[in-house]
């Protein structure tokens, strides 16, 4: 960064400007690579994603295949050990990654699209639409997202679809809140007045002029929300309110391990390591994005 | 100030009413009608019709709603329809102290760790100890609370044998039985909260250390201890308390989840078991009581701000 900004300080010598002008601004990827934590996060997530996508081909065993060798310690044939039914823990954890990633991405997509639409509509139209949406946001705001997800599963029942609906709805209000706040400030910009003056429809203004200008905080919020949604899925599975009892998920593996942890520590440790590394990686990435996009609207608290 | 508190009180009452209404209608509108499925799964239409009349389910929904609301206000949540069929209110009254003492101990442990950690981190900014604290805080934020509970059981109960792995003892059984059963779950539930507070103390202290009044305090020759404890820290605490208020909900949610790990029959466990047993009166009651605690804590925090920071009174 130059200390003499040519716009703020027009008398700055041309030489100084020449020196400071890079041929091309550094790409987002290259900046993130320089940030060691973001680099770690990116690498881990790439590995995890690959493992999840190709899980059926790369896992050493069928995640549900039982064996008479039970509660066996980590060894060469079972790198992370074996659970109480003789199932290979590594294979189960890799398959669990598929559920975590799928739930994380799908819930944030749903919550993001609906929440941003609600937030923009509330901020743009104000009036009764805004009042209703804000009342709803305030109501959810009184409770932590994970608790709302539990409430919703209590109502809809368990299973993959219901878990996705519950987590999506639980995180909807965050997106609506941020989108509304940003819309309120963007709406005052001159280019929106110009768009009005040239006869753009409301729809066109919201979709083509407001939305592109509020994406930065939304991207950061979405990143952070993916890790929170993954945590929420793990909690629901752990509590027995998750996807199903025959799909291996990280939370479920930990729930099943609970009775055996005094004899088989690996069952209680490794699935949690998987959750933690995933969440940590996404959070590192989110932090880096926050700095990169210069976003202050998204709070740290999940 | 009284006006402000009254307004907040009214707002809290509205939120509780909204939650109760949502709970009532959602459990009845969702396809499958769980209440009906449970009550009328007898295969005998005559008996089902009789039950329907007995429970008032033949009346219009709005009438049922008003009657239900009147009962709820009196603390009557009906009876559990699973197992012992005891009144839901009795279940909840037994469970509430467990959850509350878990949450309060978690809060205490978290604050005792977070404030010194945040202070040290801010005062030795950029040094290895600052990086260490920041890293641990990041780790604490990324660890699922229930998994931390499992790790603590593996270490302190299964391997070292210092503390009991599961269960709860009331305070009336003595301090140590109560404390020894609760310290592991409290640590598990408080870690995320602690990490948030430590980071907040750090950034708030760094902000305050830059101000002119700290410079003046230094310039007039006060000892570093007096500067930090007498001038900087009290002022750095105001934003920290704000964040504590927001994050306390998180801690309560953690307590609700961690109860399952340590087999503590608190409100969270009651709620989860209710869901698993499809025991809808229990689910309703637990949701309402847990929500009530949240709304009450939010109210308390709002009032606390006014006491601490008089500027809010104006708005």
Domain harbouring B189, CATH code: 1.10.3720.10
Q: What pTM was computed for the model?
A: 0.84
Q: Which of chain B's residues have a Cβ under 8 Å away from the Cβ of A261?
A: 150, 153-154, 158
pLDDT, residue B311, reads 64
pLDDT, residue B172, reads 79
Identify whether residues B47 and B127 lie together within a single domain.
Answer: no
Residue A3 included in any domain: no
Q: Which of chain A's residues have a Cβ under 8 Å away from the Cβ of B138?
A: 280, 283
- B291–A143 CB contact, under 8 Å: yes
Structural domain that includes position A206: 29-67+86-299
d(CA B246, CA A301): 8
More confident call, A180 vs B277 = A180
> What mean pLDDT comes out for the span B21-30?
78
Which two tokens mark A16? 């100084």
Residue B315 included in any domain: no
Residue B266 included in any domain: yes
More confident call, A125 vs B247 = A125
Distant-in-sequence, close-in-space partners of A59: CB < 8 Å, separation ≥ 6: A88, A90, A91, A94, A95
Residue B79 included in any domain: yes
pLDDT, residue A39, reads 87
Q: At what angle do helices B280-308 and B267-276 cross, to 10 degrees?
A: 150
Structural domain that includes position B56: 2-88
Report the residue count for chain B: 315
SS3 call for B114:
helix
Identify whether residues B112 and B219 lie together within a single domain.
Answer: yes
Q: Which of chain B's residues have a Cβ under 8 Å away from the Cβ of A227?
A: 142
d(CA A104, CA A90): 21
d(CA A231, CA B258): 14
User: Residue B310 pLDDT more than 70?
Assistant: no
Residue A74 included in any domain: no
User: Residue A226 pLDDT more than 90?
Assistant: yes
CATH of the domain at A283: 1.10.3720.10
More confident call, B33 vs A136 = A136
Binding-face residues of B in 184-203 toward A, CB within 8 A: 192, 196, 199
Identify whether residues B82 and B100 lie together within a single domain.
Answer: no
> What mean pLDDT comes out for the span A114-119?
94
Which range is least confidently modeled, B80-84, B159-163, B200-204?
Answer: B80-84
Which two tokens mark B68? 């239900």
Residue B177 included in any domain: yes
pLDDT, residue A24, reads 61
Identify whether residues B194 and B267 lie together within a single domain.
Answer: yes
| Beta bridge pairs of residue A88 | A82
Distances (CA, A) of A171 to A154, A159, A273: 17, 18, 24
- A279–B142 CB contact, under 8 Å: yes
SS3 call for A88:
strand
At B225, the pLDDT band (50, 70, 90 cuts) reads confident
Residue B305 and residue B313 in contact, taking contact as beta carbons nearer than 8 Å: no
**Least Cα separation, residue A162 to chain B (angstroms):** 12
B58-76 core/surface letters (b: 16 or more CB in 10 A; e: else): eeeeeebbeebeeebeeee
Residue A142 has its nearest CB partner, among B141, B153, B298, at B298
Identify whether residues B164 and B191 lie together within a single domain.
Answer: yes
d(CA A109, CA A87): 33
At A35, the pLDDT band (50, 70, 90 cuts) reads confident
> What mean pLDDT comes out for the span B118-144?
87
pLDDT, residue A32, reads 64
Give the residue from B53, B88, B123 where a domain finishes: B88
Residue B102 and residue B270 in contact, taking contact as beta carbons nearer than 8 Å: no
More confident call, A156 vs B38 = A156
At A153, the pLDDT band (50, 70, 90 cuts) reads confident
Q: What is the largest CA-CA distance in chain A?
A: 81
User: Residue B24 pLDDT more than 60?
Assistant: yes
User: Residue A291 pLDDT more than 70?
Assistant: yes
Highest mean pLDDT pick, A68-72, A172-176, B123-127, B157-161: A172-176
Which 8-state DSSP code applies to residue B173?
A: G
At A67, the pLDDT band (50, 70, 90 cuts) reads confident
Residue B313 included in any domain: no
Residue A268 included in any domain: yes
pLDDT, residue B69, reads 87
Identify whether residues B77 and B104 lie together within a single domain.
Answer: no
Residue B256 has its nearest CB partner, among A147, A269, A271, at A147
> What mean pLDDT comes out for the span A137-146?
85
SS3 call for A245:
coil
More confident call, A258 vs B43 = A258
At B313, the pLDDT band (50, 70, 90 cuts) reads low
Give the residue from B44, B73, B88 where a domain finishes: B88
Domain count, chain A: 1
User: Residue B159 pLDDT more than 90?
Assistant: no
Give the residue from B30, B61, B88 where a domain finishes: B88
Identify whether residues B132 and B196 lie together within a single domain.
Answer: yes
User: Residue A14 pLDDT more than 50?
Assistant: no
Which range is least confidently modeled, A29-33, A161-165, B260-264, B303-307?
Answer: A29-33
Residue A281 included in any domain: yes
> Which one of B142, B239, B286 makes the best mutation probe of the A interface by having the most chain A beta carbons within 10 Å?
B142
pLDDT, residue A87, reads 79
Residue A20 included in any domain: no
Which 8-state DSSP code applies to residue B266?
A: S
Which 8-state DSSP code applies to residue B143?
A: S
d(CA B38, CA A279): 40
Binding-face residues of B in 143-162 toward A, CB within 8 A: 143-144, 146-147, 150-151, 153-154, 157-159
Nearest to B12 by CA among B311, B308, B293, B306: B293
Residue A14 included in any domain: no
> What mean pLDDT comes out for the span B189-199?
90
Say what the ipTM of the complex is.
0.83
User: Residue B257 pLDDT more than 50?
Assistant: yes
> Which one of B32, B139, B150 makes the best mutation probe of the A interface by having the most chain A beta carbons within 10 Å?
B150
pLDDT, residue A5, reads 44
Which range is least confidently modeled, A122-126, A133-137, B223-227?
Answer: B223-227
Question: HSE on the CB side for A253, CA within 13 Å?
Answer: 35
Q: Which of chain B's residues have a Cβ under 8 Å away from the Cβ of A254?
A: 146-147, 150
Nearest to B77 by CA among B67, B87, B86: B87
Summarize pLDDT for A236-279 with one digit per residue, the tens: 999 988 887 778 889 888 888 888 877 788 888 899 999 999 99
pLDDT, residue A31, reads 67
Identify whether residues B83 and B192 lie together within a single domain.
Answer: no
Residue B101 included in any domain: yes
More confident call, B166 vs A204 = A204
Nearest CA in chain B to A282: B142
Which range is least confidently modeled, A27-36, A147-156, A199-208?
Answer: A27-36
Residue A97 included in any domain: yes
**Least Cα separation, residue B89 to chain A (angstroms):** 19
Residue B210 included in any domain: yes
Nearest to A92 by CA among A253, A268, A203: A253
Nearest CA in chain A to B29: A155
Residue B178 included in any domain: yes
More confident call, A28 vs A152 = A152
> What mean pLDDT comes out for the span A222-231?
92
Q: At what angle do helices B128-142 and B88-123 cross, to 10 degrees?
A: 160
Identify whether residues B134 and B277 lie together within a single domain.
Answer: yes
Identify whether residues B62 and B187 lie together within a single domain.
Answer: no
pLDDT, residue B39, reads 56
User: Residue B35 pLDDT more than 70?
Assistant: no
Domain count, chain B: 2
pLDDT, residue A7, reads 43
More confident call, B146 vs A14 = B146
d(CA B138, CA B125): 16
- B253–A144 CB contact, under 8 Å: yes
Tell me the average pLDDT of chain A. Answer: 82
- A155–B291 CB contact, under 8 Å: no
Tell me the average pLDDT of chain B. Answer: 82
């Amino acid at each position: 960064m130059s200390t003499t900004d040519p716009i703020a300080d027009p008398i700055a010598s041309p030489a100084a400007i020449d020196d400071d002008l890079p041929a091309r601004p550094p790409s987002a990827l290259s900046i993130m690579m320089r940030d060691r934590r973001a680099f770690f996060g990116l690498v881990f997530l790439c590995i995890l994603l690959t493992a999840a996508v190709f899980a059926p081909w790369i896992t050493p065993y069928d995640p549900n295949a039982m064996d008479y060798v039970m509660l066996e310690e980590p060894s060469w044939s079972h790198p992370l050990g074996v659970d109480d039914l003789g199932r290979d823990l590594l294979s189960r954890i890799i398959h669990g990654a598929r559920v975590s990633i799928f739930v994380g991405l799908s819930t944030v997509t749903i919550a993001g699209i609906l929440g941003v639409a609600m937030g923009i509509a509330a901020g743009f139209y104000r009036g009764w639409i805004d009042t209703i949406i804000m009342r709803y946001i305030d109501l959810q705001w009184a409770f932590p997202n994970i608790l709302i997800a539990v409430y919703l599963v209590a109502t809809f029942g368990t299973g993959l679809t219901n878990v996705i609906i519950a987590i999506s709805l639980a995180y909807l209000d965050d997106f609506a809140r941020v989108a509304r706040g940003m819309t309120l400030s963007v709406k005052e910009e001159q280019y929106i007045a110009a768009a009005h003056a040239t006869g753009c429809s409301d729809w066109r203004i919201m979709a083509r002029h407001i939305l592109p200008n509020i994406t930065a905080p939304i991207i950061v919020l979405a990143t952070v929300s993916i890790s929170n949604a993954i945590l929420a899925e793990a909690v629901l599975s752990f509590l027995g309110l998750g996807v199903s009892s025959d799909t291996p998920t990280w939370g479920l593996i930990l729930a099943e391990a609970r009775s055996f942890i005094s004899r088989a520590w690996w069952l209680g440790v490794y699935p949690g390591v998987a959750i933690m590394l995933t969440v940590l990686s996404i959070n590192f990435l989110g932090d880096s994005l926050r700095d990169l996009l210069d976003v202050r609207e998204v709070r740290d608290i999940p | 100030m009284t006006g402000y508190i009254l307004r907040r009180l009214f707002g809290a009452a509205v939120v509780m009413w909204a939650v109760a209404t949502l709970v009532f209608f959602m459990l009845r509108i969702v396809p499958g009608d769980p209440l009906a499925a449970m009550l009328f799964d007898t295969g005998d239409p005559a008996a089902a019709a009789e039950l329907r009349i007995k429970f008032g389910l033949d009346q219009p929904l709005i009438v049922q709603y008003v009657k239900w609301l009147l009962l709820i206000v009196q603390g009557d949540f009906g009876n559990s329809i699973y197992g012992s069929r005891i009144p839901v209110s009795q279940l909840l009254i037994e469970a509430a102290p467990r959850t509350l003492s878990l949450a309060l101990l978690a809060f205490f442990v978290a604050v005792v760790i977070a404030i010194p950690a945040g202070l040290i981190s801010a005062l030795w900014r950029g040094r290895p100890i600052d990086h260490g604290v920041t890293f641990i805080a990041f780790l604490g934020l990324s660890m699922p609370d229930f998994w931390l509970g499992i790790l603590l059981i593996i270490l302190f109960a299964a391997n070292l044998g210092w503390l009991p792995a599961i269960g709860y003892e009331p305070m009336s059984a003595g301090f140590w039985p109560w404390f020894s059963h609760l310290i592991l779950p409290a640590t598990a539930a408080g870690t995320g909260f602690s990490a948030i507070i430590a980071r907040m103390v750090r950034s708030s202290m760094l902000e305050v250390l830059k101000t002119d009044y700290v410079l003046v305090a230094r310039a007039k020759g006060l000892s570093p201890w007096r500067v930090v404890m007498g001038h900087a820290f009290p002022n750095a605490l105001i934003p920290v308390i704000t964040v504590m208020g927001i994050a306390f909900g998180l801690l309560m949610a953690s307590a609700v989840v961690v109860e399952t790990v340590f087999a503590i029959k608190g409100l969270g466990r009651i709620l989860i078991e209710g869901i698993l047993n499809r025991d809808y009166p229990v689910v309703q009651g637990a949701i309402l009581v847990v929500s009530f605690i949240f709304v009450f804590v939010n109210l308390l925090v709002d009032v606390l701000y006014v006491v601490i920071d008089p500027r809010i009174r104006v708005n």
